[in-house]
């Protein structure tokens, strides 16, 4: 089964200067839970002053962990302190990442790719030792807004290191939105050759409008988890052009049209995208929330 990982509350909001109140986030997350989406990323464990939008991440996890939900709550950490906070507030899935681009890595972490990889793997090992589920990503895996093409072997070298560390969930992240379907198929196949049982996730951005076709290409070759953001909100603040994520309701619509994942209530995301557009007082990048569902 293909899984949908909603990242709007983290990747979607991290670019927004208008702060979303805690109560509003709770209301939006409750709607996401009602949709029966598989994974919801509640926030990231970063410095509150550097990213005020994520200042209430710990509080959100504590709030939602008071009750049992049939959903996985994920969170992003960048360093050891982030891991400690994730452990303290009961994260279900800890997401960690390394950029394959030296320029992006320096802007994002102030470390080289090799330094960042060693550090993230150590954090992953500590997290798994403590009983946490861990997913590690390779960011800028399909290209970089600063450097252009990224050698595929460089991406695979990082993934090999993840495998050697015992990590079983890996995300291919197209941070700059440079990927194309042929490249995606080639990369997913190459990762599968390293370990056929590895759970491959994909996180694609829609900078050049190829996000959905890249997801379809990844599906065909065995990727199982797809990360997206309600309304298409978001983007990495440390890439050259911070374009939005692939839109969750557009992704679910694609799955629905293929006869897949009809158990996820797309109408919840359509209404939520409208609510977010009203909150931010602008039209969001998504298509389905504006066009409506196709008539059967």
* Domain locations in the chain as residue ranges: 3-291
* Contact yes or no for 95/131 (Cβ under 8 A): no
Superfamily of domain 3-291: Aldolase class I (3.20.20.70)
Label residue 234 by pLDDT band (50, 70, 90).
Answer: confident
How confident is the model at residue 235, as a pLDDT? 58
pLDDT band at 296 (very low <50, low <70, confident <90, very high): confident
The CA distance from 135 to 92, in Å, is 11
End-to-end CA distance of the chain: 24
Catalytic residue among 95, 202, 236, 247: 236
Question: For 11-167, where are the E strands, in sequence order?
Answer: 39-45, 72-77, 93-99, 133-139
pLDDT at 241: 47
pLDDT over 90 (residue 150): yes
pLDDT at residue 59 is higher than 90: yes
Task: Count CB-CB contacts under 10 A for residue 209.
Answer: 10
For the question of residue 236 being annotated catalytic, the response is yes
- Residue 178 CA, chain-centre distance (Å), reads 16
Q: Which tops the pLDDT comparison, 103 or 250?
A: 250
In this predicted structure, what is the pLDDT of residue 112? 92
* pLDDT for position 238: 45
The candidate with the shortest Cα–Cα distance to 266, out of 290, 288, 291, is 288
* pTM attached to this predicted model: 0.95
């Amino acid at each position: 089964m293909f899984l949908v990982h909603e990242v709007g509350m983290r990747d979607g909001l991290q670019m927004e200067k208008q702060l979303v109140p805690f109560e509003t986030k709770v209301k939006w997350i409750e709607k996401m839970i009602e949709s029966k989406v598989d994974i919801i990323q509640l926030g990231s464990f970063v410095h509150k002053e550097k990213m005020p939008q994520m200042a209430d991440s710990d509080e959100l996890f504590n709030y939602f962990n008071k009750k049992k939900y049939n959903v996985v709550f994920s969170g992003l950490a960048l360093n050891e302190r982030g891991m400690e906070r994730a452990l303290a507030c009961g994260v279900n899935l800890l997401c960690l990442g390394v950029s394959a681009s030296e320029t992006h890595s320096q802007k994002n972490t102030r470390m080289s790719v090799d330094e960042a990889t060693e550090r993230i793997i150590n954090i992953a090992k500590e997290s798994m030792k403590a009983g946490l589920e861990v997913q590690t990503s390779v960011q800028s895996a399909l290209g970089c807004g600063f450097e252009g093409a990224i050698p595929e072997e460089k991406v695979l070298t990082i993934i090999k290191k993840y495998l050697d560390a015992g990590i079983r969930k890996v995300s291919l992240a197209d941070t700059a939105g440079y990927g194309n379907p042929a490249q995606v198929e080639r990369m997913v196949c190459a990762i599968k050759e390293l370990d056929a049982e590895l759970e491959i996730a994909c996180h694609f951005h829609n900078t050049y409008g190829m996000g959905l076709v890249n997801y379809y290409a990844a599906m065909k070759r065995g990727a199982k988890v797809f990360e997206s953001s309600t309304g298409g909100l978001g983007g990495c603040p440390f890439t050259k052009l911070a374009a939005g994520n692939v839109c969750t309701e557009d992704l679910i619509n694609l799955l629905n049209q293929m006869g897949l994942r009809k158990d996820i209530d797309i109408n919840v995301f359509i209404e939520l995208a409208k609510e977010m557009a009203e909150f931010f007082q602008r039209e969001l990048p998504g298509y389905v929330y504006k066009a409506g569902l196709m008539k059967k």
